[in-house]
Amino acid sequence: MEYFLQQLINGLTLGSIYGLIAIGYTMVYGIIGMINFAHGDIFMVGAFIALIAFLALVAIGLTAVPVALLVVLLVAMLLTALYGWTVERFAYRPLRGSFRLAPLISAIGMSIALQNYMQIAQGARVKPLPPIITGNYPLIDSGNFHVQVSNIQIIIVVVTVTLMAGFSWLVASTRLGRDMRACAQDLKMAALVGVNTDRTISLTFVIGAALASVAGVMFLLYYGVIDFFIGFVAGVKAFTAAVLGGIGSLPGAMLGGLLIGLIETFWSAYFSVQYKDVAAFSVLVLVLIFMPTGILGRPEVEKV
């Protein structure tokens, strides 16, 4: 029971990270109907920017943890958003209206390019970061097994919930959110009634990238080690989360993220760690085959 509880806590933490990445997939898919295959690598870029920003802050002598964390989050969000914008501008925007698979192939190219760019710029080795946020709260102490929540886990869940709330507000009640929803319903019609679709799509990518970078920061703090390849697997899992929750749906992305995090954690805990990625990929396959609309998604109407 204690073991189960501990895994539940770990799974929810991991799921929050996946959920943050999944939002980027779900928003982009909702609006322009493409799988932004490079989104996982945007997450990886975010993690690297955070790593370097942390080291730079230490180098200039800023070591107060809360301030440093805030600065790093802001820097990572800003610069990663810039990456998201650039990728959209160069790899996807010229392809709008091209044949259906062109953006996907372009996105795969971008994903390969981003990975190798990072490998060239920062080296292929794994990058360790000493733990910055330490300490934990014991919940249950039953002699042989301690259930505990670490501070970093609390921070991850709190940050995720805050961002989700903020983002839901943005989509529900701001001008930009309305534009986004309009574009998601019908891009052409939205353009006809005066929505600046290019700008809206760009901003969607920017926000998606910013959220992915937060996930990157959290991943870095939680695991303490990153490399240039983390984006691929994390990206596929987050995409699975988006599909599982119902692609195009924001609460769905979060729910899917949590479920994938839990599935992965429990699978590793009770079955086999080696096959944890197989579990996640299998979930993707099963969901797409048996439940292509996901849990909260709406069925896609086939247009002729």
Q: Does 6 bind other proteins (CB under 8 A)?
A: no
List b or e across 241-265, with b for residues whose CB sees 16 or more CB atoms inside 10 angstroms: bbbbbbbbbbebbbbbbbbbbbbbb
Question: Segment 147-176, which members bind other proteins (CB under 8 A)?
Answer: none
- What does DSSP assign to residue 81? H
Question: 281: helix, coil or strand?
Answer: helix
DSSP code, position 301? P
Q: Is 294 left (phi over 0), alpha (psi -120 to 50) or beta?
A: left
| Residues in region 203-242 near other proteins by CB under 8 A | 232, 236, 239
H-run or E-run covering 226? strand 225-226
- 3-class secondary-structure state, position 90: helix
Cβ atoms of 129 and 224 within 8 Å: the answer is: yes
Q: What are phi and psi of 137, to 5 degrees?
A: -110, 120
Q: Is 281 in the site for other proteins (CB under 8 A)?
A: yes
If the CB atoms of residues 128 and 166 are measured against other proteins, the closer one turns out to be 128
CB of 293 to other proteins, least distance (A): 11
Residues in the chain: 304
Nearer to other proteins, 135 or 292 (CB): 292
278 touches other proteins (CB under 8 A): yes
Among 5, 113, 155, 157, binds other proteins (CB under 8 A): 113
Q: Residue 89 corresponds to which tokens in the numbers above?
A: 């501008």
**Is 292 an interacting residue with respect to other proteins (CB under 8 A)?**
yes
- Does residue 193 belong to the site contacting other proteins (CB under 8 A)? no
Contact with other proteins (CB under 8 A) among 1, 61, 66, 130: 130
Of 63, 64, 86, 162, the one binding other proteins by CB under 8 A: 86
User: Which residues ranging from 17 to 46 are in contact with other proteins (CB under 8 A)?
Assistant: 34-35, 45
CA distance 261 to 265: 6
Which residues within the stretch 258-277 sit at the binding site for other proteins (CB under 8 A)?
274-275, 277
Residues ≥6 apart with Cβ < 8 Å to 79: 49, 213
- Helical pair 230-245 and 2-32, crossing angle rounded to 10 deg: 80
Give the separation between CA 11 and CA 267, rounded to whole angstroms. Answer: 10
Does position 71 bind other proteins by CB under 8 A? no
Phi, psi dihedral angles at 136 (to 5 degrees): -155, 165
Pick one of 123, 131, 135, 166: the residue that binds other proteins (CB under 8 A).
123
Q: Which of 110, 183, 209, 221 binds other proteins (CB under 8 A)?
A: 110
Q: Is 254 in the site for other proteins (CB under 8 A)?
A: no
Q: How many residues bind other proteins (CB under 8 A)?
A: 69
Interface positions with other proteins (CB under 8 A): 34-35, 45, 48-49, 51-53, 55-56, 59, 75, 78-79, 82-83, 85-86, 90-91, 94-95, 97-106, 108-123, 125, 127-130, 232, 236, 239, 274-275, 277-278, 281-282, 284-285, 288-289, 292, 302, 304
